[in-house]
Structure 1
């Protein structure tokens, strides 16, 4: 992962060819209807202008469970993922962003620099984390519930960032919550969500996520359906979680099967180890895959 202004320079080089192709496409298109499918990359240009990882606040909460040597690096990696997601999607403006679960703002501190004119909502079961995000990053607080579908968001979002939530949920809960959250997207809004992919099988050997008996259960589901899950033991769960919470590992085909069942969205991107060289990332959003055909 590259840090500081070097990250922006890499993105500028990568996007330069895209902008050139876009300009050529506009010039060559003689049919105004065709122009509607040509992406406007002004948003990415503005993000690259506004965002510098070296200017992001490094102040952390003393009770932030994610705090560590790679804290800022992981946040900058999420910013890079979101830039890639913007390029892959139809998103051209960002007015409201949801960080879920927000924790103590490991990613939110980068988001507020990427989109300085946007409004931010911070949602988590961890009330201390939500309060920290409100005080440090001027976010609107949303107290989550163990059943996500009971949360009243009362807003539509251009970006919903979901880092390391579905790495802990069953396939059934993952599909239910993604379907629910997709209803809270703007007309070109996107969900950027992370998952444990096939690298997790190797990492389990090095630094186990869970005990071998439960890992065996996860692998049974992983092999049979492409998505395996097992709950943590009660003594390994967060104190504010009483229901299902564990470890999930998904194959690409297992995730695609889930995503195909979510109404009114299209699949924009799947990338292995995209976040912090660890989690796989999927991007879904609007307009729907069959937009213009119904």
Structure 2
């Protein structure tokens, strides 16, 4: 009589992963690298195989190619987005390359306002997540010049531990954030593309307040191209919010998906910082999908 078991069948990826672990235990790094590279192509174990390759510095590691720490947190919702997305043939490569692309696009944006990133003494990356971009910023500037902040405690701790940057916990509403100081550049990628109307301008005001005199606030939004792409109709003010996003860690009513016309954004800038504080506006600048805005705080 055959025994009945509740265990699920072992997948090909799980078999490869266990084989790779066994080879590592026996000290056969060459064979382990080959087996784990195959396991890395299986989506159910891709991140686990990647972690072993990176941890042991095996042939085929992304760190060997990119020259930076390529550790990815298991809690990273953005990596999960790439992993599940049907257009991503290689989620690990796409995720890591996306952070590099963001760095290049930020550098181009800052060159346009004659404020080169590499000359910036202190940078705050706000809503930093689990370091998709942080790892590249820390390599470019050195971790001592980078501070991160996120509302998810584990995300901040992961970046501090993994990339050596400073970090502090954000909050669900802007008035509750305890800012450690002011920064020469406050970079806010894809936060305003998720905020409800009730906190949109309040976050803009709070983040502008975190900019040191003479410094810059850079933020991005889902603009008109993104709205057309997703068949979204904006209201009379040029605003749309849906309580849904790729994040599993934040309440969807607090962090959903937002689209804004330039007129809406410019009106909020005028109300909070002053219209003359806008020094550059770049439609579809980040990822050929999100609009970029650059505000400069007047030095005393």
TM-score when normalising by structure 2: 0.66
Give the superposition deviation at 1:107: 0.9
Q: Of 254, 263, 280, which aligns to 1:253? A: 263
Q: Does the residue aligned with 2:131 lie in a helix, a strand or coil?
A: coil
- Computing the radius of gyration from Cα coordinates, the structure with the larger value is 2
Name the CA distance, whole Å, in 1 between partners of 2:173 and 2:208: 16
Q: Is the 8 A contact 2:244 2:252 kept in 1?
A: no
Name the CA distance, whole Å, in 1 between partners of 2:145 and 2:158: 16
Segments of 5+ residues of structure 2 without an aligned counterpart are 1-64, 83-90
Q: Partner of 1:284 in structure 2?
A: 295
Q: Partner of 1:200 in structure 2?
A: 226
Give the superposition deviation at 1:106: 0.7
Q: How has the CA–CA distance of structure 1 residues 117 and 165 changed in structure 2, closer, same or farther, with 3 Å as cutoff?
A: closer
State yes or no: 1:160 paired with 2:160.
Answer: no
Q: How has the CA–CA distance of structure 1 residues 266 and 118 changed in structure 2, closer, same or farther, with 3 Å as cutoff?
A: farther
Give the superposition deviation at 1:124: 1.0
Q: Deviations over 1:53-104 (max 9, x none)?
A: 9334322112212123221232122212321232233646422211111111
Name the CA distance, whole Å, in 1 between partners of 2:141 and 2:150: 21
Name the CA distance, whole Å, in 2 between partners of 1:252 and 1:186: 25
For CA contacts below 8 A with separation 6 or more, give which structure has more relative contact order.
1
Question: What is the 5 A alignment of 1:178-257?
Answer: 178-205=204-231, 219=233, 222-232=234-244, 238-241=248-251, 244-257=254-267
Q: How has the CA–CA distance of structure 1 residues 168 and 117 changed in structure 2, closer, same or farther, with 3 Å as cutoff?
A: closer
Q: Partner of 1:138 in structure 2?
A: 164
Name the CA distance, whole Å, in 1 between partners of 2:235 and 2:253: 25
Give the superposition deviation at 1:240: 4.1
Q: Does the residue aligned with 1:249 lie in a helix, a strand or coil?
A: strand
Q: Is the 8 A contact 1:146 1:243 kept in 2?
A: no
Q: Is the 8 A contact 2:223 2:259 kept in 1?
A: yes
TM-score when normalising by structure 1: 0.67
Q: Partner of 2:75 in structure 1?
A: 63
Q: Deviations over 1:94-144 (max 9, x none)?
A: 222111111110111111122127422221121221111001111222111
| Root-mean-square deviation over aligned CA pairs | 2.5
Segments of 5+ residues of structure 1 without an aligned counterpart are 1-52, 206-214
State yes or no: 1:124 paired with 2:124.
Answer: no
Q: Partner of 1:266 in structure 2?
A: 277
Q: How has the CA–CA distance of structure 1 residues 117 and 164 changed in structure 2, closer, same or farther, with 3 Å as cutoff?
A: closer
Q: Of 73, 79, 82, which aligns to 2:103? A: 79
